């Protein structure tokens, strides 16, 4: 089985798993869910680290570094602001 096909299996199954867990998140927490999910989409950082690490030409390095900066803003900012929000959800 080709790598693409395995990737497709993983993609479909992970989407279904995601659907299951996410549909149980109550409306009260939809904003933190969204900003948390947002931080997770910064996983592109992994890709940016790989290409920058392998960079052999200046353009690849520039694009890779740009990718790292954008993705890190997304990851660090996303998780931190989600935490800031969630610590406000208190029961009195």
Partner 1 sequence: MNTESTAIIAQLAYLLSAILFVSGIKRLSSPATARSGNIRASQAMLLAIVVTLLDNRILDWTTVLAAVVAGGLVGVVLARRIEMTAMPQLVAVFNGFGGGASAAVAAAEFIRAGGGATALSTGYGLTIVLSTLIGAVTLSGSLIAFGKLQGIVTGRPVTFALQKSLNALLFLVVLVVGAGLAHQAAGDALASVLGSTGTAIGIPFFLALVAGALALGILLVIPIGGADMPVVVSLLNSYSGLAAAATGFVLGNMMLIIAGSLVGAAGLILTQLMCKAMNRSLANVAFGAFGTGDQAVRAKTGERPVRDVDAEQAAMVLAYAGSVVVVPGYGLAVAQAQHELRKVCDLLEERGVSVRFGVHPVAGRMPGHMNVLLAEADVSYDKLLDLDEINPEFESTDVVLIVGANDVVNPSARDPDSVIAGMPILDVDRARTVIVMKRSLSPGFAGIDNDLFYMDRTLMFFGDAKEQMSELVREVREA
In the range 46-85, which residues lie near partner 1 by CB under 8 A?
Answer: 46-57, 59-61, 63-85
Residues 20-39 that bind partner 1 (CB under 8 A): 21-39
Q: Is 92 in the site for partner 1 (CB under 8 A)?
A: yes
Q: Is 89 in the site for partner 1 (CB under 8 A)?
A: yes
Q: Is 1 in the site for partner 1 (CB under 8 A)?
A: no
Q: What are the tokens at 59? A: 């353009």
Task: Give me the count of residues in the chain.
Answer: 92
| Number of chain residues interacting with partner 1 (CB under 8 A) | 83
In the complex, the smallest distance separating the C-beta of residue 73 from partner 1, rounded to whole angstroms, is: 4
Tell me if 22 sits within 8 A of 34, measured CB to CB. Answer: no
Residue 68 Cα distances to 1, 11, 38, 84, 90, angstroms: 32, 23, 16, 24, 35
**CA 85, 91, 92: angle at the middle one, nearest 5?**
125
In the complex, the smallest distance separating the C-beta of residue 2 from partner 1, rounded to whole angstroms, is: 8
């Amino acid at each position: 089985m080709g790598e693409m096909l395995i990737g497709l299996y993983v993609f479909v199954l992970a989407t279904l798993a995601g659907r299951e867990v996410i549909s149980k998140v109550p409306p009260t927490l939809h904003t933190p869910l969204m900003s948390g999910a947002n931080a997770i989409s910064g996983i592109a950082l992994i890709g940016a680290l790989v290409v920058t690490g392998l960079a052999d030409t200046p353009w690849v390095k520039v694009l890779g570094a740009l990718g790292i900066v954008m993705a890190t803003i997304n990851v660090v900012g996303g998780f931190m602001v989600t935490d800031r929000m969630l610590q406000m959800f208190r029961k009195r």
